[in-house]
Structure 1
Amino acid sequence: MDNKPTTRFINIIMTGLFILIAITFITIAGSFYAVEQNAIRSGQEQLMQTLNYVTNNLRLVIENRSLSLQQFSEELAFKDLPEDPLAAAEKEGIIAAYLGSHEDQTNLLIQLDAEGIFSAAWVTEGGTTQILAEETALTYLQADPSFGSLFDGDPLLQNSSEYFLDNQSFVNLYTPIVAANGQVTGYLVAPLNLENMFKAEIFSDTSAYSGYPLVKNADMEVVIHPVESQVGLDIISDRQKQFPDLDLSDLRRLEEAQLTQAEGTLSYYSYWWDEENPTKVLKLGAFKWIDIGAAHWVIALNSDFYEHNRVPIQNNYILLSLLLLISAIVLIFVLLIRGYNKKNQAYEESQRFIEKQKFENERHQLEKRILKENKLESIGLLTTTIVHDMNNFLTPILGNAQLLMEEYAENDELVSELKEIYHAAEKGKELSTNVLRFSKVSEGQQDKSNDLSQVLKDTLSEITILTPKGITLENMITPDLSVEGFDKQDLQVVLYNLMTNAFQAIGNNPGKVKIRLEKALPPYNTELQKRSVVTREKQYAVLSITDDGPGIAEGLENENLFDPFFTTKGSKGSGLGLFVVSSIADKYDWQIKLDRAQKGLTVSVSIPLLPKE
């Protein structure tokens, strides 16, 4: 018995691996969290610095547009002097120059008198300045929420708060028209297109990364956005109407933070609204409230967190994947160890069972062999006695029949009947010789033959008379098949036993028995050649006997059918038919195959052909 296996060393390795994985997991998890937090903090700091630049730039641009309007107002007041005959022409030139300087941002100018009554309006389109209708100009004043404060006595504001027209956002720049004597003679109002101004002067989308600044008012309506369709929308309710299936819970958190804090940074989940089907991303955001004139805005700047931190995050994911791989390996190892432990527990008991079973098998095989040898010995003695007695009976019959044929040679009818008696006695003597051969009393002295096709035809012509009524014989014999030498009587015995089994399988029912002799098909021939080095160059002929009986019952192994005295016919069978066939096949190295894949049974005998010279 082998030594009992031990798991001590494996248990030590397993414990060490668990500790190593735990340490690695804690380290990677901590590193991943630290990298992510550092990336968030760094990203938010950079956003806040950029946001301060954007905020200052926005303030300066609007102040610059306001100063430009004030300078234009001064020039216009000077040209309004009545004593200057060229004032009207030069005034039109000054207006055209002013409106043309920033045509995409302030292409419209409205002049009011000192009481705030509409005086005139101009617009520049395609480089051409023309008079604007009062009705159109008044829409910009009526939409302005700060317009009424111009005349309430308070100091004049630089600009109004925002308003929306045709999905665009505006603020109105204000400046008075002051005469040389210091008297206010009127006002100039210049609507500033915030979207165009922002894109031209502040935000230029040349970055390879996702992200952009935007401006919202105190009602959380979008004032400036790179996507023009977003201008004027409420960041929660209007977007929810546009995309009812999107999760905007983090946008609500962002809105709450912006409404309660003067400035700040945070991370949140949102979407890129310039996509046809927005995808959810983790954004870093910074915001700050500013006042420019009457406008009170929150300036926000955001970016895609993972886009800016792809490399360190990918490295952490790689480490995490390696950890998961190691964990999977350890889990498999643990499962193997568990199975090994179970095997270890049952080891000694299984060894005892194996030894016991081995002993029982050996004893059983010994008993079977002794029983088989006893039966064969008994049958050998019995058949020898019977054959010798039959020969004693047949010898005088043969002798007397021959004498009678010689004595009555002139009586043809009698001689014919005597010949039948003589031939029948000869057949009986041949049969006794065969029996002696199988009982190892005689080795057989038949002549060797090679023409398998002719021997098979002769044998079938003799056996045909034994065919029961109701059973049809069909044969297809390929001519001129020469095989390695064999005794004709051996082939007759094989064919007789196989056909007898086929007749008995069909019984009293109508049936059909097919005898076929042909060269083995290439796939089957290749299979036969693989048996040994000796057979790998041989070609085979196949003799097959097929019946349409019930076939072999399920559960019976092919090997059992060739055991001596094994029968499925009860008291009606001797159990020696297939045993005799297999004995002859072993003698010549023929191969026997049982095929029960179809109805009935096919027994095939593969016989080596003579090699071609």
Structure 2
Amino acid sequence: MENKPTTRIINIILTGLFIIIAITLITITGSFYTVEQNAKKSGQEQLMQTLNYVTNNLKLVIENRSLSLQQLSHELASADQPETQLGEFDKKTLIADYLGSHEDQTNLLIQLDSLGAFAKAWQIKDGFVQELPEDRAESYLQEDPYIGSLRDNEAYIQNSSEYFLENQSFVNLYSPAVDSDGQVTGYFVSPLNLENIFKAEIFSDTSDYSGYPLVKNADMKVVIHPVESQVGLDIISDRQKQFPDLDLSDLRRLEEAQLTQEEGTLSYYSYWWDEENPTKVLKLGAFEWIDIGAAHWVIALNSDFYEHNRVPIQNNYILLSLLLLISSIILIFILLIRGYNKKNQAYEASQRLIEKQKFENERHRLEKRILKESKLEAIGLLTTTIVHDMNNFLTPILGNAQLLMEDYAENEELVSELKEIYLAAEKGKDLSTNVLRFSKVSEGQQDTVYDLSQVLKDTIAEITILTPKSIKVVSDIDSGILVEGFDKQDLQVVLYNLLTNAFQAIDTRPGNVSIRLKKADAECNADLQKRSIVTKEKEYVVLSITDDGPGIAEGLESNNLFDPFFTTKGNNGSGLGLFVVSSIADKYDWQVRLDRSQKGLTVLVNIPLQKI
């Protein structure tokens, strides 16, 4: 079938829109990639320029500290000459001037003899120089990997390589003490705190530049780092131990580049190590290897790529987002127009189905009503026949029992048994007659008040005669419960039917039936008062009959049990017991409920109390 003209136009517009969006996305993506590459290149060039400054500055600072130590060594050596011999106080003054000039970077001076053995050590504290014992200074010598070259009179070097002590990094500056004859009489060793030098002399000068410099040795251990906890750590293995869940693959690529190149730049993913849960970021890095004395270090400068290029990248993202938003709006608008007709058709079809469903539901309700009325009509006819025949059976029993009691009046034991027969037959006649009364309130009963507790006890006493010997009936009845507007005989019919169902459920095996009458608790009252405006201020009492039979089978709806002629007992049941109970309950606005949560079955009858 050929498409309608409107559909063809919409398809053409939609195809054109897709092509325009695709071309625009490709253009913006290429532009974004170009901007990102140019930003990386520019950032790396800037890092390399700053790195050259940092490297030269670090060399100059250490050389300056070395020259200061050489000057002190010369002055102290001259002070020991006979022609210029100075006192101990003057020597300490020279040492105090040296240590005090950079107390945060070096506050310890160690003197070795010509054989490299410990001679003296001084430390400045609170502005005063004090001598230190050998054990206090020895740790700085033991960790120094090049101190042996001095003791072995090997070639003199300006400073040692790095060593780590108490989570800090140091190098030792060396200066020989030479007498007037040019002979080496000893050595002066001054430990230099690299972390403090870097913060005070180098890192402070680059504080206006985002990122951070760091120094690593040939083993890729951190010598200087803005985060002090990182000093002494291997950049891969030790960090992996600290943060086993982090991805350090790019750091391995960085390490490989630094170990195989003298200098270079690159971008890589790493983390900010001063955070408790390090955040992964894209970094730009520049590095260069340098030699200072015996130290062989790689100086690196790193920065956050997006921090430098946030504005142009954000502009690209905003442009791309706006384009996608506008395209989505246009696309949705076109799709809505295209689907409008289909939705209308679907709506009309749905309305037709709804109307048809309403018609079918109404017909189903009418059929159920007709069926129920047919059952009720059958019940009426059946009840009339049963009552008539039952009265015919019971009348001669009553008459003969009365005659026998008169004839054997002198035999009290026989009269007592005949009286039981008479009362039972009379009760049966009353019960059969009451079957015709369950749908109509007797005249004058609406205003009658009964003690429900006493009526229930009397009824139980009368019905106990019919209780099978294998079944034990237990009652728990509160006293003084007053109920208005019911007929005692109706309560007997309800109780008779419920007990009969309980007895039949237990069958021939031993069992128990419990009858309880209790006032409803607050929660139950509140639930019952919600039923209608008529019941919202009433209080209730609960009559419950519980048996320990098999209960209601799974899958069987409770509502079905109240339908006339519905039975689960086959030929042994009439299907009228619960129907009669529910009919009498409806007559007095009582509520009947089945509780199948426990073993057996509990039937609850909620009866409104008399208003006080």
TM range, smaller chain: 0.5 to 0.7
Preserved CA contact (<8 Å) 2:590 2:608: yes
Distance 1:97 1:384, change over 3 A: closer
Q: Which residue of 2 aligns with 1:48?
A: 49
Q: Which residue of 2 aligns with 1:62?
A: 63
Q: CA deviation at 1:562?
A: 0.6
Q: Which residue of 2 aligns with 1:491?
A: 491
Matches within 5 A, 1:176-195: 193=190, 195=192
Counterparts of 2:216 and 2:400, CA distance in 1 = 136
- Deviation sequence 1:330-380 (CA, Å, 0-9, x none): 9xx9xxx9xx99999998887777666655554454444434433433442
Q: Which residue of 2 aligns with 1:527?
A: 527
SS in 1 for 2:603: strand
Counterparts of 1:416 and 1:74, CA distance in 2 = 146
Q: Which residue of 1 aligns with 2:252?
A: 249
SS in 2 for 1:102: helix
Counterparts of 1:397 and 1:275, CA distance in 2 = 101
Residue identity in the other structure for 2:252: S
Counterparts of 1:369 and 1:523, CA distance in 2 = 35
Preserved CA contact (<8 Å) 2:76 2:91: no
Counterparts of 2:382 and 2:221, CA distance in 1 = 116
Matches within 5 A, 1:41-190: 41-42=42-43, 45=46, 48-49=49-50, 51-52=52-53, 55-56=56-57, 58-59=59-60, 62=63, 66=67, 87=83, 89=85, 102=98, 104=106, 125-126=122-123, 139-141=148-150, 146-147=155-156, 160=157, 163-164=160-161, 169=171
- Deviation sequence 1:53-75 (CA, Å, 0-9, x none): 65156337626855995899799
Preserved CA contact (<8 Å) 1:397 1:425: yes
Distance 1:583 1:204, change over 3 A: same
Counterparts of 1:29 and 1:435, CA distance in 2 = 93
Higher-Rg member (1/2): 1
Counterparts of 1:586 and 1:521, CA distance in 2 = 22
Q: Which residue of 1 aligns with 2:138?
A: none
Q: CA deviation at 1:452?
A: 1.2
Residue range with higher mean Cα deviation, 588-597 or 444-453: 444-453
Distance 1:22 1:570, change over 3 A: farther
- Deviation sequence 1:80-126 (CA, Å, 0-9, x none): 8xxxxx625379999988766535599579999xxxxx9x9997735
Preserved CA contact (<8 Å) 1:434 1:444: no
Counterparts of 2:275 and 2:235, CA distance in 1 = 17
Counterparts of 2:586 and 2:95, CA distance in 1 = 116
Q: Which runs of 5+ in 1 are unaligned?
A: 1-10, 81-85, 113-117, 148-159
Counterparts of 2:240 and 2:425, CA distance in 1 = 112
Residue identity in the other structure for 1:52: Y
- Deviation sequence 1:247-296 (CA, Å, 0-9, x none): 6623433424642x4xx54445678999999999866544456688x889
Residue identity in the other structure for 1:380: G
Counterparts of 1:199 and 1:546, CA distance in 2 = 88
Q: Which residue of 2 aligns with 1:437?
A: 437
Distance 1:308 1:109, change over 3 A: farther
Q: Which residue of 1 aligns with 2:301?
A: 302
Residue range with higher mean Cα deviation, 427-436 or 515-524: 427-436
- Is the aligned partner of 1:604 residue 2:604? yes
* TM-score, length of structure 1 as denominator length: 0.64
Residue identity in the other structure for 2:299: A
Q: CA deviation at 1:451?
A: 1.7
Distance 1:551 1:194, change over 3 A: closer
Residue identity in the other structure for 1:89: Q
Q: CA deviation at 1:492?
A: 1.2
Residue identity in the other structure for 1:584: I
- Deviation sequence 1:110-146 (CA, Å, 0-9, x none): 999xxxxx9x99977356999x9xxx99955466875
Q: Which residue of 1 aligns with 2:7?
A: none
Q: CA deviation at 1:242?
A: 11
Preserved CA contact (<8 Å) 2:203 2:213: no
Say what the alpha-carbon RMSD is for the aligned residues.
Answer: 6.6
Q: CA deviation at 1:437?
A: 2.8
* TM-score, length of structure 2 as denominator length: 0.64
Count, aligned residues: 545
- Is the aligned partner of 1:475 residue 2:475? yes
- Deviation sequence 1:544-595 (CA, Å, 0-9, x none): 1111211111111111111011111112221111111111000000110111
SS in 2 for 1:195: strand
Residue range with higher mean Cα deviation, 306-315 or 49-58: 306-315
Preserved CA contact (<8 Å) 1:564 1:579: yes
Q: Which residue of 1 aligns with 2:459?
A: 459
Distance 1:573 1:62, change over 3 A: closer
- Is the aligned partner of 1:579 residue 2:579? yes
Preserved CA contact (<8 Å) 1:170 1:191: no
Counterparts of 1:196 and 1:68, CA distance in 2 = 15
Q: CA deviation at 1:542?
A: 1.4
Residue identity in the other structure for 2:60: R
* Amino-acid identity (%): 46
Residue range with higher mean Cα deviation, 445-454 or 527-536: 445-454
SS in 2 for 1:602: strand
SS in 2 for 1:479: coil
Counterparts of 1:397 and 1:175, CA distance in 2 = 144
Q: Which runs of 5+ in 2 are unaligned?
A: 1-10, 100-105, 124-128, 135-141, 165-169
Q: CA deviation at 1:435?
A: 3.6
Q: Which residue of 2 aligns with 1:150?
A: none
Q: Which residue of 1 aligns with 2:550?
A: 550
Residue identity in the other structure for 1:55: N
